[in-house]
Amino acid sequence: MKNMLKSKNNGSSLIEVIVSMLILAIIVVPMLNMFVTSAKVNRKTQLQQYATTVAENVMESVMAEAAGYTIATATAGADGSYSQHVTGLSQGTGAFSADITYDPSPYKLVTGDLNNYSMPDITSLSSVDTAIINVDFTSEEESIADYFYQSHVYAVEFVNQEIMNAALEAYWAAWSEWNNWDPVEHNGDAQPADPPNRQDYEDQATASMETELTKDQIEQAITRTVNLTIQRDSTTGLIRVKADVIYLLPEDINVGQEEGTAGSYSSEFFNSNWYAVADLKQIYLLYKPYDATLDGTQSVNKEQITFDMDAVHQLSDFKADFFLVTQGTTAATFTEKLTLYMTSTVAEYYSKLSVYSKSLLAIYYKNAAGTLFPAPTGYNPVLVPLLSPEDMIYQVTVTVCEQGKSDQLAEVISTLYR
Computed on alpha carbons and rounded to an integer, the radius of gyration of the chain in Å comes to 40
Compute the distance between CA of residue 115 and CA of residue 296 in angstroms, rounded to an integer. Answer: 22
Highest mean pLDDT among 224-228, 269-273, 374-378, 385-389: 224-228
Tell me what pLDDT residue 117 has. 44
Q: How confident is the model at residue 247 (pLDDT cuts 50, 70, 90)?
A: confident
pLDDT digits (tens, 9 = 90+) for 310-351: 666 667 777 787 777 666 554 444 444 456 666 655 555 566
Q: Which amino acid is at 117?
A: Y
d(CA 279, CA 236): 12
Alpha helices in 120-197 (DSSP H): 138-179
Asked if the model's pLDDT at residue 155 lies above 80, the reply is: yes
Q: Which of 141-150, 320-329, 368-377, 398-407 has the least mean pLDDT? A: 368-377
CB 264 within 8 A of CB 147: no
d(CA 238, CA 226): 22
pLDDT at 22 over 70: yes
Q: Is the pTM of this model over 0.85?
A: no
Per-residue pLDDT at 147: 86
pLDDT score for 296: 44
Who has greater pLDDT, 63 or 386?
Answer: 63
Query: Residue 118: which of 130, 109, 131 has the closest Cα?
Result: 109
pLDDT interval class at 89 (50, 70, 90): very high
For 202-229, the pLDDT digits (tens) are 999 999 999 999 988 888 788 778 888 8
Residue 144: C-alpha distances to residues 71, 255, 306, 406 (Å): 44, 12, 21, 58
Phi-psi region of 404 (alpha: psi -120 to 50; beta: other; left: phi over 0): left
Q: Which amino acid is present at 311?
A: A
Q: pLDDT digits over 254-291, tens only?
A: 888 776 666 776 655 456 677 788 888 888 887 766 65
Query: At 122, is the pLDDT very low, low, confident or very high (cuts 50, 70, 90)?
Result: low
Q: What is the average per-residue pLDDT within 376-387?
A: 42
Stretch 291-309: mean pLDDT, rounded?
59
